[in-house]
Structure 1
Amino acid sequence: MFDTMTITKVVGGLCGTLLVFLLGNWVADLLYETSATSGHGGEEAAVQGYLIETADDGDAGPAEEGPSFEEVFATADAGAGERVFNKCKACHKVDGSNGTGPHLDGVVNRAVDSVDGFNYSGALEEHFDVWSPENLSTFLASPRSSAPGTKMTFNGLPKIEDRANVIAYLESLPN
């Protein structure tokens, strides 16, 4: 069945395919240069496409922070928080039953790791004792960095307004 000519054709086809892939890689490296130097000699450094000049004011002091969480939370909108909570619904419920995460009805001012029937990681107790609005805001900003080792894989809510609104919504829920 396999004579010398068939084996030669198969080996030639494999070698030709390898050659096509190697040439394609070489062409792609030429077209999409990703190293810090340009050209093959490395004599010129790559230049950014455009440069935004900024004034270097050494005595400007620290950058101004936005409003504090307490100020934002005082004017928070529970209706807007309900819309933000849609990001949380994949894991958390507000009907008293646990999902992937513990239920969140009555979570504001509740003790950490206190929902019966949910298996916590234990990482939260090391960083928080009660889910006060301030503690919730800190945790929701970046769960993995504020409580390393937590099971919660959500990236967080970077906007302080979103955090304040969702906490206001959770506070408005009946226990």
Structure 2
Amino acid sequence: MFDTMTFTKLLGGFAGTFLIFLLGKWVAEEVYMVGGHGEHEQAYVIAVPESGEGGDAPVEEGPAFEEVYANADPAAGEGVFRNCRSCHSVEPGENMTGPTLFGVVGRAVDAVEGYAYSGALEEHADVWSPENLNAFLEDPRGFAPGTKMTYSGLRSVEDRANIIAWLDSLDG
């Protein structure tokens, strides 16, 4: 069915197609890039205004944390705690990568014995009030730049309120 000449034609067709794609890539790099190989700067830049002015729709805020926290479900907060379980314990005096969270609501920031805090938290809060915990859990590095906590944060205000209510219920 296939003889040597047919196989050679097929191989030549694939090789020719590959060379055409390589040539197209080279032409595209020359057109859209400045400086050739090694330097990859854009040949043109589209200016984008940084301000939110213009036809942008207003960003709708969700419900206030205080309203959500008043109706929080501690049982749902226990389920949300699975995100925290790898670094934190809820047993008194049991520190892991992060400090124990037993009694954290209302406790002074950096008050757990035997845990080496980074010092970044002291600059932003004195006590772990529900509001401070909410801000910290939303964006830990945004709330306290330099904190040792590497978690990116909980985006849902309901999840934050539920977990804070659950943590508050642990110490009675």
Q: Normalising by structure 2, report the TM-score.
A: 0.68
Q: How does 1:24-173 map to 2 (within 5 A)?
A: 27=22, 30=25, 41=31, 62-96=58-92, 97-173=94-170
> How many correspondences in the alignment?
131
1:124-171 deviations in whole A, cap 9, x for unaligned? 000011000000000000101110010011111011111001001100
The 1:153–1:41 alpha-carbon spacing in structure 2 relative to 1, beyond 3 Å, is closer
Give the Å deviation of 1:39: 8.3
Alpha-carbon distance in 2 for matches of 1:160, 1:151: 23
Structure 1 SS opposite 2:80: helix
Unaligned runs of 5+ in 2: 1-17, 33-43, 45-53
Q: Normalising by structure 1, report the TM-score.
A: 0.67
Structure 2 SS opposite 1:155: coil
The letter for the 2-side match of 1:89 is: R
Structure 1 SS opposite 2:78: helix
1:28-86 deviations in whole A, cap 9, x for unaligned? x84xxxxxxx78645xx9xxxxxxxxxx758x7x4331110000001111111001001
Structure 1 SS opposite 2:75: helix
Alpha-carbon distance in 2 for matches of 1:85, 1:130: 21
1:9-35 deviations in whole A, cap 9, x for unaligned? xxxxxxxxxxxxxx89x74x84xxxxx
Alpha-carbon distance in 2 for matches of 1:156, 1:141: 5
CA RMSD of aligned residues (A): 2.7
Alpha-carbon distance in 2 for matches of 1:126, 1:143: 13
Unaligned runs of 5+ in 1: 1-22, 31-37, 46-55
